[in-house]
């Protein structure tokens, strides 16, 4: 497929533990479920998905940089990097692709430090607290912005 019809799905630190990590906060859906939900929503909009999850910031940044070559947009759940990483923000703004920021839990109903996001003012779409289904919502909103 061409770059205009591909989305990069990025999941940051600890999201590989979805389904087992604090199920009372994050639910029981797994990262495999996230990829499936995202892929299904993207396919319905005529897009394919390339997916990456890493606990290492540099790996995520490299994937974001590579996306400028063959992706039309990015859906990202940066995990804890949301609240700490200027470098991740710089990577996302540097590639000039529209992106959706997703959080499974309602970060605004949690600890104070989770209320701030380095991405909040530069994300084209933000979906917070909708569980794994929020990824599908993010894809629908993001693909609607891509010509």
Of 56, 65, 103, 118, which residue is the catalytic one? 103
Q: CB within 8 A of 45, min separation 6: which ones? A: 139, 140, 143, 144
Find out whether 105 is annotated in a ligand binding site. Answer: yes
Find out whether 114 is annotated in a ligand binding site. Answer: yes
Q: The sheet that has 6-11: what strands, in order across it?
A: 48-53, 6-11, 73-77, 99-103, 125-128
Find out whether 108 is annotated in a ligand binding site. Answer: no
**Cα(36)–Cα(60) distance, rounded to whole angstroms?**
20
Find out whether 137 is annotated in a ligand binding site. Answer: no
Catalytic site includes residue 103? yes
Of 26, 56, 65, 135, which residue is the catalytic one? 26
**Binding positions for substrate:** 77, 83, 90, 104-105, 114
Catalytic residue numbers read 26, 103
Binding residues: 77, 83, 90, 104-105, 114
């Amino acid at each position: 497929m061409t770059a205009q019809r591909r989305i990069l799905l990025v999941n940051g630190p600890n999201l590989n533990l979805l389904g087992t990590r604090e199920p009372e906060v994050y639910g029981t859906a797994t990262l495999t479920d996230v990829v499936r939900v995202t892929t299904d929503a993207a396919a319905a909009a005529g897009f394919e998905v390339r997916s990456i999850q890493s606990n290492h910031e540099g790996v995520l940044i490299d994937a974001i940089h590579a996306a400028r070559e063959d992706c039309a947009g990015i859906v990202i759940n940066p995990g804890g990097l949301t609240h700490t990483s200027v470098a991740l923000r710089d990577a996302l703004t540097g590639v000039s692709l529209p992106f959706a920021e997703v959080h499974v839990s309602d970060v605004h109903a949690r600890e104070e430090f989770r209320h701030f996001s380095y991405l909040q003012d530069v994300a084209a779409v933000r979906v917070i607290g909708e569980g794994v289904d929020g990824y599908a919502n993010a894809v629908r909103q993001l693909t609607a912005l891509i010509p």
